[in-house]
Structure 1
């Protein structure tokens, strides 16, 4: 049993990472249905919340079926983060998470996200300000350090625990690495094995299969794993890992029928939350990932990204299902090294 404040997670929990322009309610819904144990919102600007910016406020939307769920905020000013924490408190999530890991230039170079890794004292002050401003359990997601010369995650973990955080998720790369190269989990293991550390430690980075999950669980002894890019277009990753951990057997890849059904479900929830125009338009970027690996899918995909009515989109998805009926899709990896760079903040 893993405890984060008053949240109790059974077994070996799988967390859906907070991903800007990805981890919105429609995407979270399909991940929850497929076994995600704890999820986070997209990161929300503390300054945006204070200014009452529409986009920032919209990201506060959470639903009962998502629980347990955390709202993630970012910023580089103590007063702003503290005020944002009070705003988040009112929406009643299960926890509040601080982003000290986003590497995108427009965030990090303004002294927020991974930019705070340059100043551990500031990171501690920011975290302390949030902890003192909310009744929610506070957690942090961060990286190993700013660059190869400043991998200070062990000190960071101790000091953040001392000011009251209830769990820590660590991405096994530095900010300078962005999403390139291989994630280094050895330092995550050092944090977990530090006798001073009493809070749950979650590992993040490069987990893309049930086999790797079990391997990393056993090798690095983390309390759970956070999955990000591997879930994009493949929410089944959570159920596959859970099944493998319980039985030692690999589930078959989702069928074309399952892929179409999840695409439809995601579309309906997108329209319900965002409205018909935005919901349909923003869903377009997901089809290529859901239908990846189908030969000749480009023709259908080109139709899907031009249609403007839900019924028309679903009709084309039905065509996809009929055309590829019985086809066994070989899982293809998601390659989105620096997808954050293309996201509005």
Structure 2
């Protein structure tokens, strides 16, 4: 069990906040398939403060998602506090501050990974937010800006002092984006430097890598991002392996397609048919990856514009895979 403030997370295997992915439909599936906590995609402080309907919709949380964390991204202290107060009025369990996003359009104005380049100012934002909300505040950041500017330990100490009740550390620098290998040793160094819970992130794609991360770093929880794309079963697999030392059988084609169709329906219910089906295209490609004929199927998936068409395509693909297996 992992405790952050007054929030208890029964299983410290957590869905990472991924932009364009971690909306309620995907979070709901991840939770059902074993995630101990789910994190929403980052929402802009400016978007919330200026009344953006899209930003406001990103605060939606379904009943069966808890515990769930909403993540805020920005750089201006005043607007971050205003936006954080809006998050505080939702039914989220925690509020996370993004200091790790390495994408140009985010960091060019001082947000995301750029915010962590100035630990003192980052801590000022955390302190201001903590003082104005009644939910635990956490911070997610990276190893550093680049290999010549590794400051994760300094950032962790600063935000802990400012009142953050947990931190998540991604073992890559901002300049690495998602390339190369995550450096788990920085997670261990952060864990040794602070007394609040530390969650490790980066290159966890299986039960074995999750266990190794915990053992090598001593961290309190594991956050899984890209390893869950098209593979939400990874949460139950990791949880089971950590608890028993035994591996679960990987899902077969039938279960993979069944969950893909479930995901499709959730997306259409949440976003409407036009947008839901369009967003499902990338998820469908992830769900079928590695199955016979997946490359050709991706082209078919990308042509679908209706729920019925997408569901028929997925069911037809399953039949094709089953016939090949026979």
Identify the TM-score tier after normalising by the shorter chain: over 0.9
Partner residue, 2:320? 323
Partner residue, 2:7? 7
Partner residue, 1:77? 76
Runs of 5+ consecutive residues of structure 2 not aligned to the other structure: none
Contact 2:94 2:138 in 1 (8 A): yes
Contact 1:142 1:169 in 2 (8 A): yes
Shift of 1:264: 0.5
What SS does structure 1 have at the residue aligned with 2:145?
coil
What SS does structure 2 have at the residue aligned with 1:208?
coil
Q: How many Å separate the matches in 1 of 2:215 and 2:85?
A: 39
**If the length of structure 2 is used for normalisation, what is the TM-score?**
0.96
Q: How many Å separate the matches in 2 of 1:72 and 1:132?
A: 17
In the alignment, structure 1 residue 214 sits paired with structure 2 residue 216: no
Q: How many Å separate the matches in 1 of 2:231 and 2:18?
A: 14
Q: How many Å separate the matches in 2 of 1:43 and 1:131?
A: 18
In the alignment, structure 1 residue 124 sits paired with structure 2 residue 130: no
Change (3 A) 1:293 1:327: farther
Shift of 1:246: 2.2
Shift of 1:117: 2.1
Which range is displaced more, 238-247 or 267-276? 238-247
Q: How many Å separate the matches in 1 of 2:324 and 2:253?
A: 7
Runs of 4+ in 1 over 6 A off after TM superposition: none
Runs of 5+ consecutive residues of structure 1 not aligned to the other structure: 329-345
**Pairwise CA RMSD:** 1.4
What SS does structure 1 have at the residue aligned with 2:219?
coil
The 5 A counterparts of 1:21-32 are 21-32=20-31
Contact 1:256 1:326 in 2 (8 A): no
The count of corresponding residues between Structure 1 and Structure 2 is: 325
Contact 1:139 1:168 in 2 (8 A): yes
Higher relative contact order (CA 8 A, sep 6+): 1
* Equivalent in 230, 235, 246 of residue 233 of structure 1: 230
Q: How many Å separate the matches in 2 of 1:144 and 1:311?
A: 45
Shift of 1:298: 3.4
